[in-house]
Amino acid sequence: MKKLLYIDVPFAGATGGDKNRSRFIWETLTSNFDADLLLINRFEHPDEKINPHSGYKKLFLLKTKKWSFFSPRIIFCFSKSEIKKFKDILQNGKYEIVFFRFASPSRLAAIVSRTLPDSKIVIDVDMLFSRLSELSWNLNPTFKNRYYFVEKIKQQIYEKRLFNLPYSFLFTNFVEKEIVKKKYVKKSAKGDFDILPNVMKKTFLKNIPEKENCILFFGGLSSAANEDAFKYLILDIYPLISPKLNDEKIIINIVGRNPTPIYEYLLKKNEIENIKIIGEIPDINKEISKALFVILPLRIASGTRTRILEAANLKVAVITTSIGAEGFDFSEEEIIIRDSAEELAEEIKNLIDNPEKAENIGENFYRKCNKLYLDNNVGKELIKKINS
């Protein structure tokens, strides 16, 4: 078996779509390679609990340091002592493949190239950082929001250099892959660009809960993308659907870890009683399963949303935006995609009035994802890409 070093932040026992992708990739790699694991402890999370991981031959830890002013905050920086430690890991391991789970630690790739020039470097881009910042800035181009403008510029400078290096790059989103190739990549570049979609991992609930009079909005509630989606829901969509929610006695549940104060603030300010902040729960699958359908009104995003696949796995219909469904291959019979508040509100009211339609969309949704995004099938393609 080929020797492989996998580089990621801690993912065992953690929740979130990014952690699900990490677990899928790690499990796939350990089944096909002689794999060592390198976990990165970010300086801004010094007390982060690292749960026990498994599947590795050897386990290593690296610490990041604070970024400089000219460095994008999302790209990790390392001290000289940590870089030396990384060189020693490479020299002792003599890895044939080094897999970076995302672009944040990709500065280390240059060290791999110098230390093990014959090693194949694979970077799972997952999301295009500059695009996330650009969408955030374009949505609110004000002085108060200048952080996203500044970060966008720094990220674009870094990405232009990165994507012209001779590495193998994996994207979740075919739109972002094409953006990179058109915007950054020179004709002389020798890198490979491919798609590794997020996956649906089949989940079987022992006790399937009965449907409740609720609609679900879920995800990591501290992210800028989800905060903005919540604001869109409260300020633009909710006024158009509140009479229907009141008449049908339907609650919208907001579920996810680390809700910021803006959630409760907006509910109180607008005197909304039929939207509830649930926060983090032990089993998101039960919450999805009991919902009439899922609403994800995203206007800022990058990569693809694993939440969509979690809903599909439980045959629950989803109403989202073009950004929310970007990178997937779905038809109108499998997911509802609308962008304006008026159109989203109409579809919400339509599914409330037509539960059979919601059920049919959920069934079609599941069948399509089972065909295209099942983890076993995508895993086989991943191994082919790495070995090619």
For the stretch 28-76, pLDDT in tens is 999 999 999 999 998 877 777 788 999 999 999 999 999 888 899 999 9
Per-residue confidence at 177, pLDDT binned at 50, 70, 90?
A: very high
Q: Is 216 helix (H, G, I), strand (E, B) or coil?
A: strand
Residue with the bigger pLDDT between 297 and 49: it is: 297
Strand partners, 195: 171
As a whole number, mean pLDDT of residues 306-317 equals 93
As a whole number, mean pLDDT of residues 266-286 equals 93
Helix residue spans in the chain (DSSP H): 17-30, 80-93, 108-115, 129-139, 146-162, 174-183, 224-232, 238-248, 261-269, 284-290, 306-313, 341-353, 355-372, 375-387
Superfamily name with CATH number, domain 3-197+375-387? Glycogen Phosphorylase B; (3.40.50.2000)
The 3-class secondary structure across 322-357, one letter per residue, is: CCCCCCCCCCCCCCEECCCHHHHHHHHHHHHHCHHH
Q: Is 50 helix (H, G, I), strand (E, B) or coil?
A: coil
| pLDDT of res. 383 | 96
pLDDT at 112 over 90: yes
Domains 3-197+375-387 and 214-372 share a fold: yes
**3.20.20.70, 3.40.50.2000, 3.90.1520.10, 1.20.58.340: CATH of 214-372:** 3.40.50.2000
Whole-angstrom distance, CA of residue 117 vs CA of residue 83: 17
pLDDT at 122 over 90: yes
Of the chain, the percentage scoring pLDDT greater than 70 comes to 100
- End-to-end alpha carbon distance in the chain: 15
Q: Is residue 243 exposed (0-12), middle (13-18) or buried (19+ Cβ within 10 Å)?
A: exposed
Model pTM?
0.90
Instruction: Name the residue among 106, 47, 99, 46 with its Cα closest to residue 71.
Output: 106
Q: What is the DSSP letter of 234?
A: I
pLDDT in tens, 63-72: 999 988 889 9
Task: List the domain boundaries for the chain.
Answer: 3-197+375-387, 214-372
pLDDT at 13 over 90: no
Per-residue confidence at 295, pLDDT binned at 50, 70, 90?
A: very high
**Is residue 131 within 8 Å of 155, Cβ to Cβ?**
no
| pLDDT of res. 45 | 73
